[in-house]
Structure 1
Amino acid sequence: MDDIELTGKVAVVTGSGRGLGLAYAKALAEAGAKVVVNDVDAAAVAAAVKEIGPAAFGVTAAIGDTASADALVAAAVEQFGRLDVLVTNAGILRDRVLWKMSDDDFDEVVRVHLRGTFTCARAAAVRMREQGEGGRIILISSPAGQRGNFGQTNYAAAKAGIAAMARTWALELARNGITVNAVVPVAATAMTRTIPAFAPVIDEAERTGQPYPDWLRRDEGLGTVEDVTGLIVFLASAAAKDITGQAIGIGGDRLALWAHPSEKAVAFADGGWTAAAIAASFASGVGADLETYGIPAPKPPTA
C-alpha cells in the first residue's frame, strides 16, 4: 500500500540502540524513512547505525533533559532536512516495592520515561508546527501503565502519565495535523524474560529457532520485538492520518485498542453523599462490580 510507504520521511527513535527501539528504527528505515538512532550507550548507537545503514544517523544522549531532546531534533533537520515522526521509546527500570523504593529509584525512572517523553515531544512538536505539514508522535506506554504492576510504582506511574499525555497532546496538536498515540507493546525483552512463566519458553524458542507457542502469542499476546513494529510503521504512515489520542496494544498475534478511563457506574443522592450513606449503599450500588487491577498472571497450558 502506498500510504504505508515512508520514503521522504524522517524519524527520531529514542532508546533505539537495542531491543524494541532498535526494532522500531529498523522497521521505519525498511519502510523508506531516514532515522535518527539514539541511545545513552555510544557503542550501541554505532552498532545500530551500522546495522541499519546509510538511512541512519546516530546521536548518543541520555534522554530526559531539554538539551538532549533539542539535539535529536536538530540532528534530524541537519542530517536529513526535516522531522516527520517521533517515537519515544527510551526508558530504564528501577523496580522496588513501595517501602523499599528510594527517591532516586523513583526520580530516575520518571525522568527518563515521563520527562523524557515530554521534552522530546515538545521539541518535535515545535519543529513539526514550524514545517506546517503535520507529523506523527508515537509514545511508548506499557500494560503496567494501564493496570499497575507489582514492584513498579515508578514505571507504572510514568507509563500511565504517557498515555494521559497522548490524549492531551492529541487535542492540542490536532489543528496542526499532528497525530499523537500511545503504543502498549508486549514482547520478549530482557524485562519479560524475568517472568518465570515466560523465561523457559523464550529460551527454548531461541535455542531451537521455533516460533513461540500459540498460548504465548495469542492468549498472552507476547511475541518477538519484530511483532510490534508493524503498528509503529502504520502509525507513522499516511494510513493512520485520522487516528489520534489512542492507546493501542500489540504483541505476538494480538492487536488491541485499550479503553480510556470512564465512569463505570453512577448513583445519585439528593443533597449529596454522607459517609454513612455511601457505606450503606456502596456494595450493592456503584461498588457492586469492582474493577480488577494489576497485570494478570500468565497462564501457560497445564501438562
Structure 2
Amino acid sequence: MDLKGKVAIVTGSGRGLGLAYAQELARRGAAVVINDVDPAVSSEAVDSITAKGGRAVAVTAAVGSTETAKKLIEAAVEAFGRLDILVTNAGVLRDKSLLKMTDEDFDLVINVHLRGTFTCVREAFAYFKENNVPGRIITIGSPTGQRGNFGQTNYAAAKAGIVGMVRTWALEMKRAGVTANVVIPVAATAMTETIPFFERAVQATARGEAMPEFFRKELGFGTANDVAGLVAFLASDAAANITGQAIGVGGDRLQLWSHPEAVATEYHEGGWGYEDLQASFQNLFGDKLQSVGEEFPELPPELRPEAASAK
C-alpha cells in the first residue's frame, strides 16, 4: 500500500486504459476520483474499486473546460480531504485524412486532449502550490505524437503538444517540488482493435489468453495493466526526482524517449542563402533525413490475419 493516504484524479477513467490506471492506484492505497462522460460507466468504475475495499467517487463531465477541472479538484478535496496525484487520460478520436478532417473534428480532439490536459493541470498545480503538496502530474501521450500517423492530424498535434507542455511544466513546477511526466502507452485499446496488424494480439487478450510473445517483446505491445504499473510508480515518492520525461511502456518493454536534438550541424560563412542550400543541402543532410510514422517489423507468418482466417 505504498500510495496509502494519497488522493488521485484520473480523467477518462470509466473504462480502458484510464480505468486500469485508477484501479492500480487504488490497489496501491490511493483514493481515486473517477471521471467519465457516461454516469453509468462512471458508477461501474467506482464499484469496481469499492468492491475490493478501495475508495472512489465519480465526476461525470466532459474534460476540456476550466469548470470541469475545478469540479475534479473540488471533488477530491470534498470527498477525501486533499489531492496528491493527477493523471490526465481523457481523450477522443476523430481520425480522418487532412482534406476530410473538419474544423469540428480538429477542435474536439484538441479541446479534450490538449486543452483538457492544460486546464486540469493548471487547477491541480494551483492546489499543490497553495497547499505545499509535492504533487505528481502524469499526462498521457502517444507514439503518434512522437512519430506521426496517417489520418491523425488532430491527435498527433494534441499528443505532441502535451509533451511540449510537460517539458515546460517540469521547469515551472520544480521549485514547488511537483513533478510532471508523460507516459506513452502501447496497449490493446478500442483504437487498436480495428487495426489488422494487432488482430491476433487483441483476440488473445479478449479470450483471456497470453498475448503472443512477438507482440509483447518485439513490438512492446501489451494490455492496459502493463501500463498501469508505470503510472503508479510515477505517482509514488520513489519517483520524486523524475520530471520532464516521456516514458514509453507496453508489453515487456520500457522506453525512455529522447528530447528532440539536432542530428547534424553545418556552418556557412555569411549564412545559408538559397543558392548555398541548393548546392549543399543534399550532400550535407541527404543521408540524415529523419523518418516519419512508426515502422513495424514484419509479422511472423503464423500471426498474420490471413493465417487466422485460414484455420
Give TM-score scaled by structure 1 length.
0.97
Q: CA separation in 2, counterparts of 1:190 and 1:180?
A: 27
- For residue 51 of structure 1, the aligned residue among 35, 48, 52 is 48
Contact 1:166 1:180 in 2 (8 A): yes
Task: State the one-letter code of the partner of 2:228.
Answer: T
- For residue 27 of structure 1, the aligned residue among 24, 28, 35 is 24
Contact 1:282 1:288 in 2 (8 A): no
> In the TM superposition, what is the alpha-carbon distance from 1:300 to its structure 2 partner?
1.5
Task: State the one-letter code of the partner of 1:119.
Answer: T
Question: Structure 1 runs of 4+ off > 6 angstroms?
Answer: none
Q: CA separation in 2, counterparts of 1:108 and 1:157?
A: 12
How do 1:124-139 and structure 2 match up within 5 A? 124-139=124-139
Q: CA separation in 2, counterparts of 1:121 and 1:170?
A: 12
- 1:190 counterpart residue number: 190
Contact 2:263 2:288 in 1 (8 A): no
- 1:115 counterpart residue number: 115
What 5-or-longer segments of structure 1 have no aligned partner?
none
Task: State the one-letter code of the partner of 2:33.
Answer: V
Question: For 1:182, what is the secondary structure of its paired residue?
Answer: strand
How do 1:211-290 and structure 2 match up within 5 A? 211-290=210-289
Give TM-score scaled by structure 2 length.
0.94
Question: For 1:155, what is the secondary structure of its paired residue?
Answer: helix
Q: CA separation in 2, counterparts of 1:56 and 1:276?
A: 64
What 5-or-longer segments of structure 2 have no aligned partner?
303-311
Contact 1:216 1:300 in 2 (8 A): no
Q: CA separation in 1, counterparts of 2:200 and 2:252?
A: 20
Contact 1:197 1:298 in 2 (8 A): no
Task: State the one-letter code of the partner of 2:264.
Answer: A
- 1:18 counterpart residue number: 15
Q: Deviations over 1:211-245 (max 9, x none)?
A: 11111001111111000011001000011000000
How do 1:48-127 and structure 2 match up within 5 A? 48-53=45-50, 54-127=54-127
What percent of counterpart residues are identical?
A: 58
Contact 1:21 1:90 in 2 (8 A): yes
Question: For 1:93, what is the secondary structure of its paired residue?
Answer: coil
- 1:140 counterpart residue number: 140
> In the TM superposition, what is the alpha-carbon distance from 1:131 to its structure 2 partner?
1.3
Alignment RMSD (CA, Å)? 1.1
Number of residues of Structure 1 aligned to a counterpart in Structure 2: 299
> In the TM superposition, what is the alpha-carbon distance from 1:298 to its structure 2 partner?
5.4
Q: Deviations over 1:186-225 (max 9, x none)?
A: 1101101111111233113422x32111110011111110
Q: CA separation in 2, counterparts of 1:283 and 1:212?
A: 44
> In the TM superposition, what is the alpha-carbon distance from 1:280 to its structure 2 partner?
1.3
Contact 2:169 2:180 in 1 (8 A): yes
